Amino acid sequence: MQRGAVHRKIMAKSRSFFVCNECGAESPQYFGRCPTCNSWNSMVEQAQPAKDATPRAAALGRGRATTAKASQPRLAMTLNQIQDHPQARLPSGYGELDRVLGGGIVPGSLVLLGGDPGIGKSTLLLQVANQMAARQRVLYVCAEESGQQVKLRWQRLGPVGDVGSEGEGSRGEKTESKRQKTKEEEIEDLEDAETAGLEAVDSQLFLLPEIDLETILMELESLKPTVAIIDSIQALYYAALTSAPGSVSQVRECTSALMQLAKRSNISLFIVGHVTKEGAIAGPKVLEHLVDTVLYFEGDRYASHRLLRSVKNRFGATHELGVFEMVDHGLAEISNPSALFLGNRDEQVPGVATIVACEGTRPLVVELQSLVSPTSYSSPRRSTTGVEYNRLLQILAVLEKRVGIPLSKLDAYVASSGGLAVGEPAADLGIAISVVASFRDRLVDPELVLIGEVGLGGQVRPISQLELRLKEAAKLGFKRAIVPKGQSVKVDGLEIVEVSRVVDAIAHALKGNP
């Protein structure tokens, strides 16, 4: 009996536990609703071997106490002992993407790109692969599509140089050389000549339709590309795990294996991630912690522009913004996004004000539109587009309490031009002025910008990066700016008006305008 008890104690038994597919939370028993993220029917069962009776960490701890000397490091180093290795970033061929990444692609970095279905994630990465294949070796792993589907999309996007300033020049040189060759050798079929000219670029762009993780890892080790693209991480499958592709364990293990290989082989890795109905990247939260950069590709399906936003970046500033436009041959960069979010300044209507929002280090001039009308219901309606809803309720309460405008019985609608999400407090003053202008049916000077945060006491608070915002406004031709008092900034060609309260800002903004 004693021998059997010892045998049972030594033998490692497997136990089962349950993991949430939405948030990755673990539980020893099954719940229909996850106790962490409150999602229904997301708990799946997984088997895990029991831990050893004698942990290795405890054994190492006992051995270290007897053999190692006190206060002597084994592997740790001081900061002076670590050698400096300057990071040489790789240009992606698109200035907007390089801006969001912090100046270019860092070798050996992991970039996670998420977005809604059909927003253009695969199109953007295929265009980046097409541009970079002219200089480096690129591997595109298409786990959701066949090779023929990717090639058809590549043909629709056009050859290298169809999108981007750098490519246009190279395409023009190639076209001129093709014309000379046609005159000299009298080639009648121009399509065959164009195909022959693209063979040099195509030889550096490799395509791998595969979902097996081990096959992809072996291909990365043998090919050793400079840049690799995984589209998408939810479609990869690791045979050692029994769960289905896209589960928490599959996404976690596949990302971890790819990260180790990318760091070891110095491969820049782009990973496409699906998003949930709430807009967050599907899979465990540890997925965003493993990668170096997290990018979100946003946009309205009814609009042509797309916004590339940086949420996490270990090699640059967060909340950077890149603007693209979906055209017939793919995604094109927008060099001046402020012009996109400005409405028609020639046609003036009441309730329109202009602000300068900052996305990371990029200032954007955005037009805000407000409409205040009598309500037909017992409780007035509040609606926002691109503006935080709770922020609007707070500003309306301040205007009614501190300024005396009766907005509690009126409907209020506020929208930003182009649907750009403006969430920073610096837009408060512009929202307040546009609401008051719509209530009084007054016009705001189209050459005026409003920058400031509105406090609950009716005061205008200081904001950050004021000089950067004012320079962007002056560059676009604005003449006046209302800013918080105490931030003395001078910009050539721009009249600065400092205010301390919302009432003073309203008096200056609506002064002399019928």
Helix ranges restricted to H, 37-146: 56-67, 95-101, 121-132
Residue 324: the pLDDT is 93
Segment 481-495 mean pLDDT? 89
Mean pLDDT over 494-506 rounds to 94
Q: Is residue 230's pLDDT more than 90?
A: yes
Q: What is the pLDDT of residue 18?
A: 85
C-alpha atoms less than 13 angstroms from C-alpha of 456 in its C-beta half-sphere = 2
Alpha helices in 266-311 (DSSP H): 286-290
For residue 312, what are the β-bridge partners?
294
- Helical pair 165-185 and 190-197, crossing angle rounded to 10 deg: 130
> Are residues 212 and 237 in contact, defined by beta-carbon separation less than 8 angstroms?
yes
Element (H, E) at 86: none
**Mean pLDDT computed over 145-156:** 90
CATH 3.40.50.300 residue ranges in the chain?
95-160+198-335
Rounded to a whole number of angstroms, the distance between the first and last alpha carbons of the chain is: 99
Cα separation of 487 and 471, whole Å?
A: 14
Average pLDDT over residues 243-248: 84
Q: Which helix (H) or strand (E) holds 293?
A: strand 293-298
For residue 237, pLDDT beyond 50: yes
Residues in the chain: 514
Residue 423 structure tokens: 């969430």
| CA dist., res. 235 & res. 233, Å (int) | 5
**Per-residue pLDDT at 166:** 39
* pLDDT value of position 512: 64
The percent of residues above 90 in pLDDT, for the chain, comes to 49
> pTM for this one?
0.75
For residue 17, count other CB atoms closer than 10 A to its CB.
14
Q: How confident is the model at residue 9 (pLDDT cuts 50, 70, 90)?
A: very low
The CATH 3.30.230.10 portion of the chain extends over 339-509
Arithmetic mean of pLDDT over the chain: 82
Q: Which amino acid is at 441?
A: D
DSSP 3-state helix, strand, coil percentages of the chain (rounded to 5)?
A: 35, 25, 40
The Cα 97–Cα 99 span in angstroms is 5
Given a cut of 60, whether residue 51 has pLDDT beyond it is: no
pLDDT bracket for residue 48 (50, 70, 90): low
Task: Give 279-311 pLDDT, tens digit per residue.
Answer: 778 777 778 889 999 999 988 766 788 999 999
What integer pLDDT is reported at residue 190 of this predicted model?
A: 40
Q: Which amino acid type is present at position 249?
A: S
User: Quick one: pLDDT at residue 121?
Assistant: 93
Q: How far is CA 114 from CA 150, 215, 271, 311, 316, in A?
A: 19, 24, 9, 11, 18
Q: Which helix (H) or strand (E) holds 475?
A: helix 466-475
The answer to whether the CB of 273 falls within 8 A of the CB of 287 is yes
User: Is residue 82's pLDDT more than 70?
Assistant: yes
Say if residue 417's pLDDT is above 90: no
17, 49 in Cβ contact below 8 A? no
- pLDDT, position 193: 41
Q: Please tell me whether residue 249 adopts helix, strand or coil conformation.
A: helix
- pLDDT confidence tier of residue 413, bands split at 50, 70 and 90: very high
The burial of 34, by beta-carbon neighbours within 10 Å (0-12 exposed, 13-18 middle, 19 or more buried), is given as buried
Q: What are the pLDDT digits (tens) for 324-366? A: 998 888 899 988 888 778 866 667 889 999 999 998 888 999 9
Q: What percent of the chain has pLDDT over 70?
A: 82
Query: What homologous superfamily does CATH list for 95-160+198-335?
Result: P-loop containing nucleotide triphosphate hydrolases (3.40.50.300)
pLDDT score at 94? 93
pLDDT of residue 514: 54
Beta bridge partners of 373: 411
Structure tokens at 185: 């050798």
**DSSP-based three-state secondary structure for 236:** coil
Q: pLDDT category, 186, cuts 50, 70, 90?
A: very low
| Residue 132 confidence class, pLDDT cut points 50, 70, 90 | very high
Confidence class of residue 108 from pLDDT cuts 50, 70 and 90?
very high
Q: Please name the fold of domain 339-509.
A: Ribosomal Protein S5; domain 2 (3.30.230)
* For residue 212, pLDDT beyond 90: yes
Q: Higher confidence at residue 178 or residue 104?
A: 104
pLDDT tens digit sequence for 59-79: 444 545 444 456 788 889 888
